[in-house]
Every structure is written in structure tokens, then in C-alpha cells.
Structure 1
Amino acid sequence: MRCVAIDDEPLALQLVQGYARKTGELEVVATFTDAVKAKEYLQQNEVDLLFLDIQMPDINGLELFTSLENKPLVIFTTAFGQYAAEGFNLDAVDYLVKPFDYERFLKAVTKAKELIEYRQNREINEGYLFVKHNYQWNKIYFKDIDLIEALDDYIKLYLSPKPILVHMSMKAVAEKLPPTKFVRVHRSYIVPVEKVDGWNKNSIRIGDKTIPVSYTYQKQVQELLQKRMEG
């Protein structure tokens, strides 16, 4: 899970980072002591989870979270227990009262992980995923995806009538796709199985595009496409 920690106390951020590394489930992609800068980052980058302090100068954590147009999951972290009710009214995953130990932190993270997995499974079962494009979330149906290509820190979703660029990793998008319908064929490409028009050991053809198949993925690709042909 990609997460961001926001707290005006550097020691509190260090504690969250240390606990996050210990879980093995979290990737802390950014930390902020400045809530305004944190908001700017969150408007431009996709994350799964926030660890958000409430008592901060300029903007408190409740105000910051309320102001976000596209809200990730949030775990509030604060020394003041009186904010708990308001935090849960904002559909917080959990509310950690400082000082909290690793076991309590892990319990909150586990709840977040289970909720993310539930949402992903629901999206997969209903045939779509959500991606952030042009500062808003967009529903993309699997049937409309012709190809996925990695471009540095972005992915390019080939859709009709034109492709879109999304700030997202290949690993993150792969986790949102049904493995029976999409297959990774190269470090830079994921293809929809039903759109494949032809293939051999080293390449796949989709319409007028030829996509390379790297050695790492050859066995997996051949097995999946063979099953499709037999089915």
C-alpha cells in the first residue's frame, strides 16, 4: 500500500516510517510537516492511505481531509482523543491516539489493507477500475482497454478514441486487473487477452501493434494464451 504521513512533529513522522517498514505492507512515498504542501502533493499523486495528524498549524487534519476532492483511506493520529467522533464521521479507517505502540498501529493497517482488498475485488468482479486523470477519478471498463504501456512514472492506457496518461506504476495497475483477462508480457506492457490477434514466443499482435514478449514472461504468456485458444 502506498501511503503518506502528515504530522507537524518530525519525531512522529519517524515513528510512523519505522512502524511502516516493520509491517512489510506499506510503502511510505512521502512525509510532510506542512499540511499545505501535503495537500498539493495529494492533488497530483495517487496514494492508498494517509496517516494524518489532526492538530497542525494553518490547516488541521480534519480540514485537510475534508478539502480533498479525491480521498484516500485515512488513519488519524493525534494526542487528543476528543476528535475521535469527528474523525469517524469522516469514515476514517481508524483513530490512533498518541503515543501508540506497534501492535495498535498494525491493527489499524490491517483494517486498511482488508478494506482496499475488498474494494479491489468488487471492482474486478464488476469489470472496471478507477484511475486518476486530469485531477479527477475516472471509471475505466476492462473491455475498453486495448493495451497498457509503462512510461517512466506513468502508464499509458490505450482506450478509444484516444489514450490517457495516468500517474501510476505497472505494479499498482496490475493489482487492479483480473489475472485471467490481462497478462504482463514485458516490463513495459500489459495486454488484454481477448484483444490478442496473434502471437509467437517473442511477440504479440493486437490490431496493427506488435508488442514484444520478454523472456521473463514467455512461459506465463504462452500458457495463458494456449488456454484461451483451447477454451
Structure 2
Amino acid sequence: MKCIALDDEPLALQLLENYIQQTEGMELVNTFTDPVSAEEYINNNGVDLLFLDIQMPDINGMQFYTNLANKPPVVFTTAYSNYAAQGFDLDAVDYLVKPYDYERFARAVMKAKELIEYRQSKEVNDGYLFVKYNYQWCKVFFKEIELVEALDDYIKIVTPGKSYLIHMSMKVVSEKLPSPMFIRVHRSYIVPLDRITSWNKNSITLDDKTIPVSYTYQKQVQDILQKRTSVISAG
């Protein structure tokens, strides 16, 4: 579980780092004291969990979270217990009142893991994701996605008769798409496995469109496609 933390107190960040190092399955990928840098990171990287202070000099943590375009599950951390009700109104996973011990931290992490697992299974089973396009949220069904292509700071999701140009990184969208259905073959391309009609080491074909396979992804692509080929041959 990849997490980040935003807190204006370095000692609070150090405590979180120590607790996370003790916790199996957790990785603290970044810490921030600056809200602007934290928001930029969240918008351009996949984050499973956010530890967020409330009382900060430049912005209230709840206001910061409300303004996020991409909202990862959040655990609020603060020295003030009177914010708890407001925090849960924002669907916070938990609310840690400083100073908190490792046992209390671990309970919050367990809640976060359960929520993330539920959301992931629900997203796959429901078969779609929402993307922000033309100032509104649009439902895109996984089965309709023909190609995902990176275009500078945007990605293009191609579906029959319509393409969605959205401000999102390839890393984030690749984590939102279920791995049994999609594979990344290039820094600029994610493709649906069921639409691959032929392939070799350096490229794949989707109907009449040929997509390059970069060296970075060649082994992963070969392993997955060879397993599918073996299953089909065996059947």
C-alpha cells in the first residue's frame, strides 16, 4: 500500500515514517510540508492512502482534501479532537489524535486496507471507472476501452465513437484499470488484452492498428501473452 503524508511538523512526519516502516505491506513513497507540492504529487501519481494534518499554516487539511481532484482514502492526523465529526463527514478512513501510539495507528491502517480492497473489487466487478471530461464526470466501461494513449500531460481513452482527453498520468490510469483486462506495453500505450489480434516481441496488433512494445515492457508482455496462448492451445 503506497502512502504519502502531508504535515507541517517534521517530527510528526518522522513518527509516521517510523510506524510505516514497522508495518508489513506499507510503503511511504513521499512526505510533504508544502500543500502545493503534495497536491501536484497526488494528481500525477498513484496514491493508496494519504495521512493528512489538519492545522497547517497555509491551509486547513480538510479544505485541502475537499479541493483535491483525485481523492485517495485519507487518515486525518491532528492534535485537536474537535475536528473528528467534520473529518468523518468527508468519508475519512480514520482520525488520529496526536500523540497516538503504534497500536492506534495500526487500527487505522487496517481500516484503510479493508476500504481499499473493497473499492478495488467493486470497481472491477462493476466494470467501469469515472473520468473527468469537459467539466463533468463520465462513466467509461472497461469493456468499451479500445486503447489508452499518453499525449504530453494528458491521456486519451479511446472507445467506439468517442475519445476522452483527460488530465491524468499513465501511472494513475494504469492503477485504475484491472490488470486481468489491460496491459501496459509502452510508456505511451495501455491496451486491452482481449483486443490483441497478433503480437511479436516488438509490437502488437489491435485489429488494424499496430502498437509498439518498448524494451522496458517486452518481458512482461511476452510472459502474459504466452500464458494466454498456452491456455487457449491447451483448451
Instruction: Give the TM-score of the pair, scaled to structure 2.
Output: 0.75
Deviation sequence 1:10-30 (CA, Å, 0-9, x none): 211222233334434234334
Q: 1:19 to 1:138 in 2, by over 3 A?
A: farther
Mean alpha-carbon deviation: is it higher for 3-12 or for 173-182? 173-182
Matched, 1:222 2:226: yes
Q: Report the counterpart of residue 9 of structure 1 in structure 2.
A: 9
How many angstroms does 1:31 deviate by?
Answer: 1.0
How many angstroms does 1:167 deviate by?
Answer: 3.0
Structural RMSD (CA): 3.5
C-alpha separation between the residues in 2 aligned to 1:107 and 1:115? 13
C-alpha separation between the residues in 2 aligned to 1:22 and 1:150? 37
- Residue identity opposite 1:145 in structure 2: I
How many residue pairs match? The answer is 228
- Where structure 2 has 5 or more consecutive residues not aligned to the other structure, the ranges are none
SS in 1 for 2:59: coil
Q: Report the counterpart of residue 129 of structure 2 in structure 1.
A: 129
Deviation sequence 1:144-177 (CA, Å, 0-9, x none): 322235678875534453363553344x544433
Q: 1:216 to 1:73 in 2, by over 3 A?
A: closer
Check conservation: 1:44, 1:135, Cα contact below 8 A: no
Q: 1:40 to 1:95 in 2, by over 3 A?
A: closer
Q: Report the counterpart of residue 209 of structure 1 in structure 2.
A: 209
C-alpha separation between the residues in 2 aligned to 1:43 and 1:162? 24
Q: Report the counterpart of residue 51 of structure 2 in structure 1.
A: 51
How many angstroms does 1:83 deviate by?
Answer: 2.3
Mean alpha-carbon deviation: is it higher for 145-154 or for 102-111? 145-154
Q: Report the counterpart of residue 60 of structure 1 in structure 2.
A: 60
Q: Report the counterpart of residue 41 of structure 1 in structure 2.
A: 40
How many angstroms does 1:124 deviate by?
Answer: 0.7
- Residue identity opposite 1:221 in structure 2: L
Matched, 1:167 2:171: no
C-alpha separation between the residues in 2 aligned to 1:227 and 1:176? 26
C-alpha separation between the residues in 1 aligned to 2:202 and 2:37? 44
Instruction: Give the TM-score of the pair, scaled to structure 1.
Output: 0.76
C-alpha separation between the residues in 2 aligned to 1:66 and 1:208? 44
Alignment of 1:80-99 (within 5 A): 80-99=80-99
C-alpha separation between the residues in 1 aligned to 2:22 and 2:132? 29
Q: 1:113 to 1:156 in 2, by over 3 A?
A: farther
Alignment of 1:133-172 (within 5 A): 138-149=138-149, 156-159=156-159, 160-162=161-163, 164=165, 166-170=167-171, 172=172
How many angstroms does 1:117 deviate by?
Answer: 1.8
Alignment of 1:69-108 (within 5 A): 70-108=70-108
C-alpha separation between the residues in 1 aligned to 2:5 and 2:134? 24
Q: Percent identity?
A: 57
Mean alpha-carbon deviation: is it higher for 108-117 or for 197-206? 197-206
- Where structure 1 has 5 or more consecutive residues not aligned to the other structure, the ranges are none
